Amino acid sequence: MLNNRIKNFDDYPFRRLARLLDGIAPPMTLSPVSMAVGEPQLGMPDLAVTAMMAARAGWGKYAQNGGTPELRAAIAAWINRRYDLPTGFFTAEKHLMPVPGSRAGLFMAALACVPEAKPDTNHKPVVMMPNPFYQVYYGAAILAGAEPVLVAADAKNQFLPDFVGLPDEIWARCAMIYLCSPANPQGNVASPAYLKQLLTKARQWQATLVLDECYSEVYDHTPPVGGLTIAYQNGENLKNLVVFNSLSKRSSAPGLRSGYAAGDADVMAALGRVLDYGGTPLPLPVQAASVALWHDEAHVTAMRAHYRENFARAQAILGNRFGMYRPDGGFFLWLSVGNGEQAAQKLWREAHLRVVPGAYFAGNSWQPGGNGKNPGQEFIRVALVHAANVTEQGLRRLVDVLG
């Protein structure tokens, strides 16, 4: 009496990693270092703690989905500043929905946007996503009753999946497209031209483009363009577009579980109905902390400086080994090591260092006839989230073991 769709995807990557390393004894003379999880280690800024404590009476009250007026206003003000949107184009009332972290929002987007069948077709709907991908996209597509179509995002195409080039018979079934920019794990940023072309195609085929922008503030030099900006510049409306972001990476507050969805007013209304039934409203003290964080940029500037220092150390230690490159955004290294699973086992066995095989973030790419390959097979993902000295220690161990 279980949902049989659950059988259509493997365990989450970190459960798979635990299985892979089970029974391997690491050297206890070395302290453990985990560079597996993309969990910021800087600590939540004090201003958020202060705001939460001031609002602590709110722990004794039920919060409502949709957020307080103060939270909605703070998020909308940040969006309009960050993406330089004209007054009235994006509004908190029509185009915004606070969500309990972007992960939950991205999952629920599929429940809101995937129909039983696309209009004028009796075929199962399709949800496109890059390959590698954030595993939430895949699970959401399957549990919403769609067929995931994994589109290779590798060095051959500058890590940008060619969704637009897919055949019309796939687009005719497409209900949603997931895209992460800056990407997890490769760190590439989608260009304005790429996003414009993809949004145009989504509108042509009446699909919803879902942009995961959770790494938008973790960039090296140039702020990544946002989907809302592209929508304004190319059509001046938000139809067929939803953007997700959160405070997890921007404000080093992953445990706060505070984010937003923004875009198409019809999708916001549908997502709000899904959240009413299955969502977790943000507790009022969490909303107060979120308001303080969205209004402040100083801590975000310090965060970026931290990651730039970590990447500088990575460049100095790794050089050109393993196809090392400095990404435009995010805080991951995507390293070519021949066989990701074997490398992960070796690093745990010999260096007490935990990384994730790249194959765990990918699957077989879509091709006519279904003969695609897993583009993550030869890679490991390494998260540069620790203090600089811990990051340097982990990277030196990686080089010592893998050469």
Specify if 32 maps to a domain.
Answer: yes
Residue 220 CB neighbour total at 10 angstroms: 16
34 shares its domain with 66:
no
The answer on 316 and 228 residing in a single domain is no
Pick the last residue of a domain from 268, 294, 320: 294
pLDDT at 370 over 90: no
pLDDT at residue 189 is higher than 80 = yes
* Cβ proximity of 300 and 217 under 8 Å: yes
Task: Note whether 305 and 283 are same-domain residues.
Answer: no
In a domain, 48, yes or no: no
Rounded to a whole number of angstroms, the CA Rg of the chain reads 21
The tens digit of pLDDT for each residue in 196-241 reads 999 999 999 999 999 999 999 999 999 999 999 999 998 779 999 9
CATH number, domain at 335?
3.90.1150.10
- Among 246, 279, 294, the domain boundary falls at 294
Most confident of 227-236, 252-261, 364-373: 252-261
Do 316 and 220 lie in a common domain?
Answer: no
Note whether 252 and 149 are same-domain residues.
Answer: yes
Domain membership flag for residue 92: yes
pLDDT confidence of residue 372? 83
Q: What is the per-residue pLDDT for 67? A: 96
Confidence category of residue 268, pLDDT binned at 50, 70, 90: very high
Q: Which domain holds residue 140?
A: 55-294
What mean pLDDT, rounded, does the chain reach?
Answer: 95
CATH code for position 220: 3.40.640.10
Residue range 368-389: average pLDDT? 90
In a domain? residue 302: yes
Mind listing the pLDDT tens digit for each residue in 297-331? Answer: 999 999 999 999 999 999 999 999 999 999 999 99
The 10s digit of each residue's pLDDT in 131-178 is 999 999 999 999 999 999 999 999 888 999 999 999 999 999 999 999
pLDDT band at 121 (very low <50, low <70, confident <90, very high): confident
In angstroms, rounded to a whole number, what is the distance separating the alpha carbons of residues 145 and 195?
26
Let me know whether 234 and 178 are in one domain: yes
- Same domain assignment for residues 192 and 141: yes
Whether pLDDT at 291 is above 80 = yes
Across residues 251-280, what is the average pLDDT?
96
Q: What is the pLDDT of residues 61-114, one digit of tens each?
A: 999 999 999 999 999 999 999 999 999 999 999 999 999 999 999 999 999 999
pLDDT of 5-41, one tens digit each? 988 888 899 999 999 999 999 999 999 999 999 999 9
Q: What is the pLDDT of residue 119?
A: 74
Taking the CA atoms of residue 358, residue 140, residue 212 and residue 115 in that order, the dihedral angle to the nearest 10 degrees is 140
**Looking at this protein, which amino acid is placed at residue 268?**
M
In-domain check, residue 120? yes
Helix axes 135-143, 102-113, angle to 10 degrees: 30
Residue 271 lies in a domain: yes
**Predicted pLDDT at 133:** 95
Q: Do 313 and 245 fall within a single domain? A: no
Tens of pLDDT along 89-98?
999 999 999 9
Rounded Cα distance between 276 and 231, Å, is 28
Residue 279 and residue 142 share a domain? yes
**Inside any domain, residue 49:** no
**Which residue, 261, 294, 327, sits at the end of a domain?**
294
Query: What's the pLDDT at 77?
Result: 97
Q: Are 208 and 312 in a shared domain? A: no
Q: Is residue 50 part of a domain?
A: no
According to the model, what pLDDT value does residue 371 have? 64
pTM of the model: 0.96
State whether 290 and 304 are in the same domain: no
Predicted pLDDT of residue 29: 96
Residues 375 and 254 in one domain: no
How many separate domains does the chain show? 2
**Predicted pLDDT of residue 369:** 60
